[in-house]
Structure 1
Amino acid sequence: MNNSDGNSGSSSQSTANNRSRVITKASSPILDQTQNVKLTASLETTIQEIQSIMKDDSDFIQRRFQVFGEYNAAIFYYSSMIDQAMINSSIMKPLMHVPGMPGEKRIEQNELHDVLMNQIIYHSEVKAESNLSAIVEGLLRGHTAVIIDGLDQAFLISTSNIDKRAVDQPATEQVIRGPREGFIELLDKNISLIRYRLQTPELRIQTMEVGRRSRSRVAICYMDGITNAELVNEVKHRISKIDIDAVLDSGYLEQFIEDNHYTPFPQVQYTERPDKVVANLLEGRVAILVNGSPLALIVPTVFSQFYQTAEDYTERFVMMSAIRLARLVALVFSLVFPSLYVSIISFNPELIPTEFAVAVAGGRAGVPFPAVIEVLIIEISMEVLREATIRLPRQIGGALSIVGVLVIGQAAVSAGFASPITVVIIALTTIGSFATPAYNAALSLRLLRFPLIIFAGIFGLYGVVIGLILIANHLLSLKSFGVPYLTPWVPGDIQGMKDLLVRGPLWRMGNRPSFLYPEDSQRVSPDTVTGMNEPPYNVLDPEEITKEKGSE
């Protein structure tokens, strides 16, 4: 017994050491070479070193000038990434001012650094840097470097001004009632959209750099005092282990940090809605944003999140509970309906009414394929049509979808390649898959339809049941950052059941999800619940007003 406890303690200690270990990753070869190179007081030497790194970049600007008409200097920046007006007015104009007015004294060499830093450069974000690699990194991020002969430090000034698209309504998560703002590609703007909705000092945003050459900024967002500290540390640890050339989108990170890499089901939720990110942060989850990506990642994730929408919480709970149930039925419908049709038509036609069976048999009289082959052909054709509609320009894509559904479908029935009932079944299945709000979850269900259809074509209803058991067993084995994927179904959670099949009243969901183990579990004050239970005071009731006037 003691040995077991000792082994357990050493194992946990080893895990802690692995989590705290500093992971060294490769960087850009050029930055590696300049990592320990310090600037000298020679302006010419520094210019040569920077030119040897930037070489023939057409948008890299170097200009020589004199500070106060006395000290030789040079300014460096990328013209495609900076605000030219800011450089002219806040940097060049005060630096090139020549003292000549009465009372202006000459600035000595030993005073130059302090005077420039504290009195001359009209900018709030300026720092002195002596490391060559840090200067190069700053230039690549849109900063401007000013180097003066005789000083062994450069001035790095933030002048970045990159064109970006305006904040607009999310294209993939549209709602009728709710905010109309969506994330854009600029990380700082996305962070501001979150801070706009969470104006509290408990919001914590920590940034990291991922990618040897892209040097992509990654922001980890969580609520201090709500989010479990171990969850935050695990997210940081998984991201810190990533060593790749470039991270061009948040989808790159998703594939590295998920628990199971060989499952069709998504274990990380993504969204482009700031209000949805804020709602999940307040529940105790962690959000991950990547510079250059309009999609934020949310962890941990459970399966029930993929058929819920932000609109579920902005409307009354009775109406949205009915809509959520309809959405869940459409989700199950899109998964099993084609396989049920194949199994019943091929093996158990006695399960359907006689009149309907005669109508189905009459429709399939001229079809030369078995039901399983027929359904597979139509399903594959529908997937090809759907993919073509997405990739084509919007004006052509709409026309193609109409032509594909009406003309090709009718032609297939007329030519005898498919029966009318099969076309109806596949059309209803496709519409059901569109009702799933999350595209990645809908895609996994679309892919799982094919093995279910094959099982149904070989074993009938037994094959459908076997396929569903395998899918359920796989779902039970999945976890997202340690949280079972089917929570709060399995393991059961009474509090979580209030927001599962139906959406309970907001004042009844007083605690945060317990499976996230938040540090502060209370979400709704008990006083609010007490106030909701009090009978309403009918201030404008005509009878009450008449009585009051009569008593007067």
Structure 2
Amino acid sequence: MLDGLLRGKTVIVIEGEAQAILLDTYKPEIRGISQPETERVVRGPRDGFIEQIHTNISLLRHRLPVPEFRAEAMEVGTRTKSKVAICYVDGIVDKELLSEVKKRIERIQIDRVLDAGYIEQFIEDNPRSPFPQVQNTERPDKVVGNILEGRIAIVVDGTPFTLLVPAVFNQFYHTSEDYNERWMITSVIRLIRFVALIFSLTFTSLYVTVLSFHPEMIPAKFMVAAASGRAGVPFPVFIEVLLMEIAMEILREATVRMPQQVGGALSIVGVLVVGQAAVQAGFVSPITVVIIAMSTIGSFATPSYNAATAFRMLRFPLIVLSGSFGLLGLATGLMLIINHMLSLRSFGIPYMAPVTPGSFNGLKDSLIRAPLAWMRRRPPRLHAPDAVRVSSKGIGSKNKKKMGKSSVFRGRKGGDSNK
């Protein structure tokens, strides 16, 4: 009775009766369902999660009207008693994975859970890693797609973000829109995103390495242009790039925290006015401003904000290594990052799967996306009991043959659909 009363329900106590009636009369004020701000798509659904857990589960149920869909309720937080729902499809999810997710959530001992990020930090395998091992999203279609692959969604009351486990590195540069477009277009766009990701991590470090230690690696004309642009700059390349990167991060953080009406104007003033004034004053060279801008734009191409943030922060140790040891320092830093990513696990799944350990079926939906008809099986590392998701009957050239033999199509070709 007390728990229901604290949650806004109505308690009716009748004199002489040992039991009471508990009525669910709580009707909270909720915002309307709208398009997610952080995961916009050109082609795809426009609805997104809100802060009410019952509405979010209803959005998932709308897309999965099957009896195998499960939403198991739990409570986390000794003070807040936040509602948490573990969503999956029975018959697709691995039972060992489901048991491990429940154990990790039950072991959480904290007085408050105000967002899904609290739970994410408790259940990830390596909390000291800069890379996210749990994916978060505001899109119901993305959650349903991952559930049908064999993953588990963790819906938390009070936040529009839903957690997806296990998560591998490939997921963080994929979008739900990738499966709505044709496979050739999607594959090219994924390659562009991946190149932009690597570009944002290494471009500034490579620039420092080449100009500071290995100028012979670039053509003479380019070297002359770079040297003439740096004439009069009082700082070495390493200090110049480091100061510009710090200034860019300050500007980015200020833009995010400012009101939306002011944030756009602040970014324009910071990039155009301050950047141009710094170049004219001789504090930085024009080519350095171009390099920093291109590296920043490359980080914006990553769909996942937390993955892009991890690569942004890793730029600083790479710049320090490159400015101290040149190409050897850059190569050492990249090897340490790759080695760390290879050692990561997400609920026992290798972080770099399906690249390593290799899986031919998994590679069909990694750096490129194969046609949907070719991706017949679910990701093998998820160990789904029902591994087949696309039937081999009636796909590809078989459909073309059936359409050619159809009497309806032959009739339209001849002008009489009744023949």
TM-score greater than 0.5 by the shorter chain: yes
Matching residue of 2:356: 490
The whole-number CA distance in structure 1 between the counterparts of 2:378 and 2:14 is 57
Identify the residue that residue 391 of structure 2 maps to in structure 1: 525
Q: 2 CA distance for matches of 1:347 and 1:300?
A: 42
Q: Match of 2:324? A: 458
Asked whether the equivalents of residues 373 and 396 of structure 2 are also in contact (C-alpha less than 8 Å), the reply is no
Alpha-carbon contact 1:507-1:528 (below 8 Å) kept: no
Which residues of 2 match residues 17-416 of structure 1 at below 5 A? 135-416=1-282
Q: Secondary structure at the match of 1:529?
A: coil
Q: Deviations over 1:428-483 (max 9, x none)?
A: 00000000000000000000000000110011111111100000000010000000
Find the counterpart in structure 2 of residue 422 from structure 1: 288
How many Å apart are 1:540 and its aligned residue? 5.8
Q: Conserved in 1, the CA contact under 8 Å of 2:74 and 2:83?
A: yes
| Paired residues, number | 415
Give 1:408 shift: 0.3
In percent, how many aligned pairs have the same letter? 59
Partner of 2:414: 545
Distance in 2, matches of 1:216 and 1:341, equals 49
TM, length-normalised to structure 2: 0.96
Secondary structure in 1 aligned to 2:309?
helix
Go from structure 1 to structure 2 and tell me whether the alpha carbon gap of 1:541 and 1:465 turns closer, same or farther (over 3 Å shift).
Answer: farther
Corresponding position of 1:437? 303
Gaps of 5+ in 1: 1-134
One-letter identity of the residue aligned with 1:545: G
Matched to 2:414, the amino acid is I
2: distance between equivalents of 1:543 and 1:520? 41
Query: How far off is 1:528 after superposition?
Result: 3.4
1:499 corresponds, among 359, 365, 371, to 365
- TM-score, reference length from structure 1: 0.73
Q: How well do the aligned residues superpose, as a CA RMSD in angstroms?
A: 1.7
CA distance in 1, matches of 2:153, 2:62: 16
Whether the 8 Å contact between 1:508 and 1:529 is mirrored in structure 2 is: no
TM-aligned CA distance change 1:154 to 1:544, over 3 Å: closer
Return the alpha-carbon distance in structure 2 between the equivalents of residues 236 and 524 of structure 1: 30
More relative contact order in 1 or in 2 (CA 8 Å, sep 6+)?
A: 2
For residue 528 of structure 1, give the secondary structure of its aligned residue in structure 2.
coil
Q: Distance in 1 between matches of 2:79 and 2:15?
A: 31
SS of the equivalent of 1:277 reads helix
Q: Which has the larger radius of gyration?
A: 1
